[in-house]
């Protein structure tokens, strides 16, 4: 199988790093890598050449490979050049407004990495979890950069400085990594999540679990939060407001798949925080968990810094690319056997992640008919 790796146009990461490139070649594949594809992740063309890959121009990959891989989907013009090929990317088909018909019309077999089921059997392929872990780590680093005080407690000759208080809203992969990182820096941490299963994980990392009784807990939601009743939301808002007023840093990670992120922090809550406090909103691209968040922007509101960034993983491109590549390699093992493609649509992983095949869209957005468009600020 001749596999092509594209250079990302607006991302420092690369889909396949030299280490995984070498493994793919050893497994009987031919690998073509676009020139400078790994440069921004600090992987040189020579690194790929040493691994056995062929360095080519973008046009050659689009024209002459059989399987193409990129982190972000290519544009419409380039999409048409992929006719008859297998194309792996992250199409986010569940997002409002995404039109998959051009993909089907181009005659592409499209496999979407963000549609791989978040189950135990597919854990090693889960790019969402890999990138969320990096985002959780960097959210704390970003908060520490903007917070005008120490994270740990320090005892000095001039007196004792108390530790920073951190509140994490959403204890999924990103939230748990944020808790672990803040703990390493010496902060006192509280965490909130609607999922009862998160309590034990939060406590195991040394944080206090903030619990609101009466949450709807859907274990089939694939790691995402689910919509809650109005009564629950009122109790949640009251408790979160109480906790936020005492926090130096708030990190929010709650997202609803295919829908706008839930508003957890209202304007009045921000205004109740101490000057110098920091909010890092990892749900910024889907509207944000904070009412004041602006996507891909750092703003200040009455002395509180609000960081809106849903793509922090791209800011750690070397390790992010390493994890991304390993996830993709494990995914390829499902249907790439000795350099030959074997797509079994009875396989749950293939069935879930294949969004277009043989001129037909195979994914139907369950939110399209009854969901209002996301009110997300256009950052382009």
The secondary structure of 197-258 as a DSSP string is THHHHHHHTT-EEE--TT----TTSTT------HHHHHHHHHHHHHHHTT-SEEEE----TT
Residue 183 shares a structural domain with residue 310: yes
Mean pLDDT of the 12-24 span? 98
Q: Cα–Cα distance between 119 and 356 in angstroms, integer? A: 22
Of the pLDDT bands very low, low, confident and very high (cuts 50, 70, 90), residue 74 is very high
Does 366 reside within a domain?
Answer: no
Residue 57 shares a structural domain with residue 75: yes
pLDDT in tens, 211-239: 877 666 555 545 455 566 778 778 888 89
Of the pLDDT bands very low, low, confident and very high (cuts 50, 70, 90), residue 169 is very high
- The yes-or-no verdict on residue 370 having pLDDT over 60 is no
- Please give the mean pLDDT across all residues of the chain: 91
Q: Cα–Cα distance between 84 and 56 in angstroms, integer? A: 20
Q: Are strands 249-252 and 165-169 parallel, antiparallel or unpaired?
A: parallel
pTM of the model: 0.89
| Active-site annotation, residues | 118, 123, 126, 129, 224
* Phi, then psi, of 251 in degrees rounded to 5: -115, 125
Does 379 reside within a domain?
Answer: no
Structure tokens at 244: 């936020």
User: What pLDDT is recorded for position 197?
Assistant: 83
Residue 42 shares a structural domain with residue 64: yes
Residue 182 shares a structural domain with residue 100: no
- Higher pLDDT pick, 276 / 238: 276
Residue 292 shares a structural domain with residue 158: yes
User: What pLDDT is recorded for position 257?
Assistant: 83
Query: Which CATH number does the domain housing residue 326 bear?
Result: 3.40.50.720
pLDDT in tens, 127-153: 999 999 999 999 999 999 999 999 999
Residue 135 shares a structural domain with residue 247: yes
Contacts 24+ apart (CB under 8 A), 48-51: 48/18, 48/21, 50/18, 51/18, 51/19, 51/21, 51/22, 51/25
Does 374 reside within a domain?
Answer: no
Of the pLDDT bands very low, low, confident and very high (cuts 50, 70, 90), residue 366 is low
Residue 169 shares a structural domain with residue 89: no
Provide the CA 266 distance to its chain's centre, in angstroms. Answer: 24
For residue 348, what are the domain limits?
2-125+317-361
pLDDT in tens, 263-274: 999 999 999 999
Percent of the chain whose predicted confidence (pLDDT) is above 90 = 80
- The yes-or-no verdict on residue 43 having pLDDT over 50 is yes
Mean pLDDT of the 334-348 span? 92
Does 58 reside within a domain?
Answer: yes
Last residue of a domain, one of 296, 315, 334: 315
Does 367 reside within a domain?
Answer: no
Number of domains in the chain: 2
């Amino acid at each position: 199988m001749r596999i092509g790796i594209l250079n990302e146009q607006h991302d420092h990461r690369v889909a396949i790093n030299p280490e995984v490139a070498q493994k793919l070649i050893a497994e009987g594949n031919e690998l073509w890598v676009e020139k400078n594809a790994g440069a921004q992740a600090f992987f040189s063309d020579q690194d790929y050449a040493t691994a056995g890959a062929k360095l080519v121009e973008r046009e050659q990959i689009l024209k002459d490979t059989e399987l193409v891989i990129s982190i972000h989907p290519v544009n419409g013009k380039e999409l048409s050049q992929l006719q008859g090929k297998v194309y792996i990317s992250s199409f986010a088909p569940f997002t409002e407004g995404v039109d998959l018909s051009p993909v089907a019309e181009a005659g592409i077999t499209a496999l979407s990495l963000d549609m791989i089921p978040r189950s135990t059997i597919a854990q090693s392929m889960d790019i969402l979890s890999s990138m969320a872990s990096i985002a959780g780590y960097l959210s704390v680093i970003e908060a520490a950069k903007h917070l005008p005080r120490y994270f740990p407690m320090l005892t000095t000759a001039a007196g004792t400085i108390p530790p920073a208080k951190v509140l994490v809203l959403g204890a999924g992969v990103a939230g748990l990594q944020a808790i672990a990182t803040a703990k390493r820096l010496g902060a006192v941490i509280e965490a909130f999540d609607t999922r009862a299963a998160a309590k034990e994980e939060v406590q195991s990392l040394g944080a206090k679990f903030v619990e609101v009784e009466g949450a709807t807990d859907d274990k089939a939601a694939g790691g995402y939060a689910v919509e809650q009743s109005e009564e629950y939301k009122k109790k949640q808002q009251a408790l979160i407001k109480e906790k936020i007023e005492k926090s130096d840093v708030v990190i929010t990670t709650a997202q609803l798949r295919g829908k706008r992120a839930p508003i957890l922090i209202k304007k009045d809550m921000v205004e109740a925080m101490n000057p110098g406090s920091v909010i890092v909103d990892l749900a910024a691209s889907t509207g944000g968990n904070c009412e004041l968040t602006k996507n891909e922007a750092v703003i200040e509101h009455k002395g509180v810094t609000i960081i809106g960034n849903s793509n922090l993983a791209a800011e750690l491109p070397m390790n992010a690319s390493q994890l991304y590549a390993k996830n993709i390699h494990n995914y390829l093992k499902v249907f790439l056997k000795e350099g030959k493609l074997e797509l079994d649509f009875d396989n749950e992983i293939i069935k879930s992640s294949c969004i277009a095949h043989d001129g037909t869209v195979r994914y139907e957005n369950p939110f399209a008919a009854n969901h209002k468009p996301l009110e997300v600020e256009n950052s382009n």
